[in-house]
Amino acid sequence: MSEKKKNTGYLSGKEIRAIAKENAKVMKRLEAYKYRKAEESEFLSEMRDPDNILEIDDLHTYFFTEQGVVKAVNGVSFDVPRNATVGVVGESGCGKSVTSMSVMRLLQGPQGQIYSGAIRFQSKDYKRDEKGKPIGTETEDKVYDIAKMPIREIYRIRGKQIAMIFQEPMTSLNPVFTIGQQLDEVTLIHTPDATKEMAKARSIEMLNLVGIAMPERVYNAFPHELSGGMRQRVMISMALAANPRLIIADEPTTALDVTIQAQILDLLRDLKTKIDGSIMLITHDLGIIAEMADYVVVMYAGRVIEKGTVDEIFHDPRHPYTIGLQKSKPTLDSGDEALFNIPGNVPNPINMPDHCYFKERCDRACEKCSGAYPEMIQVSPTHYVSCWLYEEGNENG
Ligand SMILES: Nc1ncnc2c1ncn2[C@@H]1O[C@H](COP(=O)(O)OP(=O)(O)OP(=O)(O)O)[C@@H](O)[C@H]1O
Ligand code: SF4
Ligand SMILES: [Mg+2]
């Protein structure tokens, strides 16, 4: 290609066709991998730390579009310890939902694909015969690498051991079935030998557990007959019906008003103790994180840029982006003062630079920041930051 053409920034028809051909090839390979038949041994794994319930390790999730490859999740690693709430925070489009959809294997194919990485989950599954069928109701501990599981095996985990609560319950509830029919189904699908009566009793129990006063009435109602807050309670009861070990809540209160929001958060906190499980809580609201989380993961443009305990992230933030986020949070003392705004935009996800993605917005960028993307640097046993300022010997950090 001539130098002149290279500088236009546009792709030629030939280049576009070449991208499409290459994308089609990769998508076909990944789809075939997803739909393959595989022995259980192919997706069994070991936890790095047995105190974790989930370990996401260098996860890459891409969307293959006509304009190019969107690296929505580009090397994300973090853990969810047992009985802990991990808050995932970051601005719109940074890859929070795509990370959770990867764990649930709900990515829209063939464009959306887990490209590489591991998602290890400490599962408690039924004992199975060599064909993968459950033998009775006895369970055993097994670590599954969800990223390697053929999609036909995902029912072992999805909705049962890992449940998800979405932002807008109306899109997840089926408008033509009653709440009871939809709740019963969870028990009927996930519990071998469950009868209709057992399922109903469990559904009523779950509705009670999420604080619904007249469970029989809600059981017989259709979704449109309930308020937003009630629907979110129903969604939570549905997530709980299968007794999950991990709940992923993606902006669970964004569609609700403030008082209902507080009730739903109380409910989630309460339930974590009741089910003796963990929560991965996705939100862009730092107030919710401060109130709910034990650990915080800060994402920026498809990467984790800082992670630590809630205390470390709130009282000792290190990454200039995390510091900016804290400054842009309204407080009672802000008064009429304009809120701090981090200048600039996130880079184009199709064409990410090689250097730190925050560089163009960073007021502390140094010479090194134009070089390679910064490695994760450990600043305490639980606190990590990806920023050149904290490299050993850098006095500005
Ligand atoms: N189906 C898709 N096709 C192409 N790109 C997609 C698709 N779904 C998501 N993306 C891209 O992936 C990136 C991450 O999106 P994601 O939904 O995970 O953001 P998010 O952090 O959840 O944001 P929000 O706070 O707005 O919910 C974005 O750049 C988005 O445009
Ligand atoms: S690596 Fe450099 S540009 Fe990136 S956040 Fe740190 S100081 Fe800023
Ligand atoms: Mg989202």
**Which ligand 2 atom sits closest to the C-alpha of 368?**
2
295-300 and 303-309 strand pairing: antiparallel
Peptide bond into 110 cis (omega under 30): yes
Helix (H, G, I), strand (E, B) or coil at 59: strand
CB 252 within 8 A of CB 268: yes
Q: How far is the CA of 98 from the centre of ligand 1 (A)?
A: 6
Residue 7: per-residue pLDDT: 52
Four-CA torsion 267, 293, 261, 176, nearest 10 degrees: -70
Q: Please report which ligand is nearest the Cα atom of 320.
A: 2
Residue 339: per-residue pLDDT: 58
Q: Got the DSSP string for 216-262?
A: HHHHTS-GGGS-HHHHHHHHHHHHHHT--SEEEEESTTTTS-HHHHH
Residue 249: per-residue pLDDT: 94
Q: Got the DSSP string for 275-339?
A: HT-EEEEE-S-HHHHHHH-SEEEEEETTEEEEEEEHHHHHHS--SHHHHHHHHTS--GGGTTSPP
Residue to substitute in 354, 356, 368, 391 for testing ligand 2 pocket (most ligand atoms within 8 angstroms of CB): 356
Residue 88: per-residue pLDDT: 98
Contact 70 CB / ligand 1 (< 6 Å): yes
Cα distances (angstroms) measured from residue 319 to each of 70, 190, 302: 24, 43, 16
Residue to substitute in 322, 362, 363, 373 for testing ligand 2 pocket (most ligand atoms within 8 angstroms of CB): 362
Kindly report the pTM of this predicted structure: 0.91
Contact 349 CB / ligand 1 (< 6 Å): yes
Residue 9: per-residue pLDDT: 61
Q: How far is the CA of 250 from the centre of ligand 3 (A)?
A: 7
**Which ligand 2 atom sits closest to the C-alpha of 305?**
5
Question: Using CA atoms, how far apart are residues 244 and 275, in angstroms rounded to an integer?
Answer: 7
Identify the residue whose C-alpha is closest to ligand 2 atom 6: 387
Alpha helices in the chain (DSSP H): 3-6, 13-34, 96-104, 169-172, 179-190, 196-209, 215-219, 228-241, 258-275, 286-292, 310-315, 320-327
Residue 3: per-residue pLDDT: 44
- Which residues sit with their C-beta closer than 6 Å to ligand 2? 319-320, 356, 358-359, 362, 364-365, 369, 374, 387-389
**Which ligand 1 atom sits closest to the C-alpha of 94?**
21
The CA-to-CA distance between both ends of the chain, in Å, stands at 43
| Dihedral pair phi/psi, residue 292, rounded to 5° | -105, -35
Q: How far is the CA of 61 from the centre of ligand 2 (A)?
A: 24
Helix (H, G, I), strand (E, B) or coil at 194: coil
Locus of tokens 């009670």: 208
Question: Nearest CA to 386 among 327, 301, 286?
Answer: 301
Contact 259 CB / ligand 1 (< 6 Å): no
Question: Using CA atoms, how far apart are residues 187 and 25, in angstroms rounded to an integer?
Answer: 40
pLDDT in tens, the chain (397 residues): 444 445 556 777 887 888 888 899 999 999 999 999 999 999 999 999 999 999 999 999 999 988 789 999 999 999 999 999 999 999 899 999 999 999 999 999 899 999 999 999 999 888 888 777 788 778 889 999 999 999 999 989 998 899 999 877 777 889 999 999 999 999 998 887 889 999 999 999 999 988 898 999 999 999 999 998 899 889 988 888 888 999 999 998 887 788 888 888 988 888 888 888 999 999 988 989 999 999 999 999 999 999 999 999 999 999 999 999 888 776 666 566 665 677 777 777 787 889 999 999 999 999 899 999 999 999 999 999 999 999 877 766 6
Identify the residue whose C-alpha is closest to ligand 1 atom 7: 63
Helix (H, G, I), strand (E, B) or coil at 165: strand
Residue to substitute in 27, 66, 94 for testing ligand 1 pocket (most ligand atoms within 8 angstroms of CB): 94
Question: Using CA atoms, how far apart are residues 260 and 5, in angstroms rounded to an integer?
Answer: 57
